[in-house]
Amino acid sequence: MSRQMGDSHRRFLQTMMSNGVISSSQASALHRHCCETHGAHYSQEKVEDFISVINAQLQPLFMHIRKGMSEEDGLDYFALVNMAKTDITKMSSDYADNELELFRKTMDLIVDSENGTASSTDILNCADSLQTKKLKKKETEHVLNKFVQDKWLNEIEGEYTLSTRCIIEMEQHMRTIYPDLIKRCFVCHNIAIQGQICENAVCGIKIHLPCVARYFKGRTDPHCPSCNDFWTHEIPEVQQYSSQTLQSQSSCAKENTAGPSTSSTLATRRSRRS
């Protein structure tokens, strides 16, 4: 097996660089496209090997293509993350200091909240108290839009959540600055921001929504997997296309039009709040 970087790898990397994050089904389609374009050997199940060849080259450059699960649809995504902490990367963002402060405050609100969301009203309120430079309401809305466009935040009906890209890239950082607030999902053991929390105050375990759906599927009388208390939350439906290995390019096209968050997670969240 060749560990050598070829044009197929370079094309894959460039696409990652301009998109930031792609779903695993997109990654498979892209893998195939890149191999076919440059006449490289292609085997369908080897996408992770293919990416590891790229990662070996990126490692000395403080970059990495990392996999993570979306808390919204439960699917895997790949993000190109930057691991350097030098002055240079500070310049990497197009964001002004007060915009970055707004992002930090938004992240505080989201991590502090029980279900991993922050309302636009709360974010707008804290924009008044920025230390760097205050943002007007209109400006704040514009900046929040930019965060969504750049795939750092997701927004549904005025509720903001951390995007998959953001969680993949910032996981380490969040663990450092919120050591007591960040929980792991009891089912998949990954970092959990959005999810349901066991109502038993002594227990209080957290489970991702897609993990809740999969874990309690078909059970009429759900109980907490840790303390065995009754699980009071509404159990979301398992999404139709969550069996990832079988995904075809058609689901990839579907994601492109529907965006990363789907209607069923939306429904779950609304029912939770009511």
Three-state SS for the chain is CCCCCCHHHHHHHHHHHHHCEEEHHHHHHHHHHHHHHCCCCCCHHHHHHHHHHHHHHHHHHCEEEEEEECCCCCCEEEEEEECCCCHHHHCCCCCCHHHHHHHHHHHHHHHHCCCCCEEHHHHHHHHHHCCCCCCCHHHHHHHHHHHHHCCCEEEECCEEEECHHHHHHHHHHHHHHCCCCCEEECCCCCEECCCEECCCCCCCCEECHHHHHHHCCCCCCCECCCCCCECCCCCCCCCCCCCHHHCCHHHHHHHHHHCCCCHHHHHHHHHHHC
**Interacting span for other proteins (CB under 8 A) from 102-110, 187-195, 215-223, 257-265:** 102-110
Q: Applying CB under 8 A, which of residues 35, 47, 51, 58 lies at the interface with other proteins?
A: 58
Is residue 244 at the binding interface for other proteins, with CB under 8 A as the rule? no
In whole angstroms, the minimum distance from the beta carbon of 222 to other proteins comes to: 36
In whole angstroms, the minimum distance from the beta carbon of 141 to other proteins comes to: 18
In whole angstroms, the minimum distance from the beta carbon of 256 to other proteins comes to: 8
Is residue 257 at the binding interface for other proteins, with CB under 8 A as the rule? no
In whole angstroms, the minimum distance from the beta carbon of 82 to other proteins comes to: 8
Site string for other proteins, 61-80 (x = CB under 8 A): xx------------------
Site string for other proteins, 136-175 (x = CB under 8 A): ----------------x----------------xx-xx--
Residues that bind other proteins (CB under 8 A): 5, 7, 10-11, 13-15, 17-19, 22, 26, 29-30, 32-33, 37, 57-58, 60-62, 82, 84-95, 100, 103-104, 107, 152, 169-170, 172-173, 176-177, 249, 252
